[in-house]
A and B are shown apart, each in its own frame.
Chain A
Amino acid sequence: RKEVEQDPGPFNVPEGATVAFNCTYSNSASQSFFWYRQDCRKEPKLLMSVYSSGNEDGRFTAQLNRASQYISLLIRDSKLSDSATYLCVVRVRRNDMRFGAGTRLTVKP
């Protein structure tokens, strides 16, 4: 079983749609959680950290459920520019970041 699992998608949604991505992690000692965005053939970039209380950044909302070892990302009012692969990232130990394989999103006009 992979340490970080994501639905690979692809998710094909129309502009304006709300889309949710899920991620599960296997190590209960995981300490920090993140969503990164990776455009096609580009490097990953931090989208947002995920806090226990949940956090929001504009149209993006991240949630963490430690009991279920589950992280989510919600994108509201999706834009064409949101098309990318979204990587769930978990820090297990101080030096150990584990990346999910990513969920691909395509937003269509």
Chain B
Amino acid sequence: NAGVTQTPKFRILKIGQSMTLQCTQDMNHNYMYWYRQDPGMGLKLIYYSVGAGITDKGEVPNGYNVSRSTTEDFPLRLELAAPSQTSVYFCASSYQPGLAGSGANVLTFGAGSRLTVL
């Protein structure tokens, strides 16, 4: 089982460059999420999606965009990279929260993408 796969694992960007972090899952989860992790700050939700064609903002969406054209893929795009976007980014997926069953409410995370903006 591949689970949640993120690419790239590491990337260095210059200020103003753009890039896309890729995320794909093979568990047929309908919910997908993007978080950023900053030291001592825990995880902050950037964007999430409840299914193909549907996305919504989380706590810290500014400077990012997402799309969800398929159930499997949920790319995160940075249009004009800024030093404040230096972070570790995690993609996650889950079944619909609140459904019956032991798998509900549990997120499966990717291994993370470390992004540095200089």
Do chains A and B stick together as partners? Answer: no
Interface residues of B (CB under 8 A from A): none
Taking Cβ atoms with an 8 Å cutoff, the residues of A that contact B are none
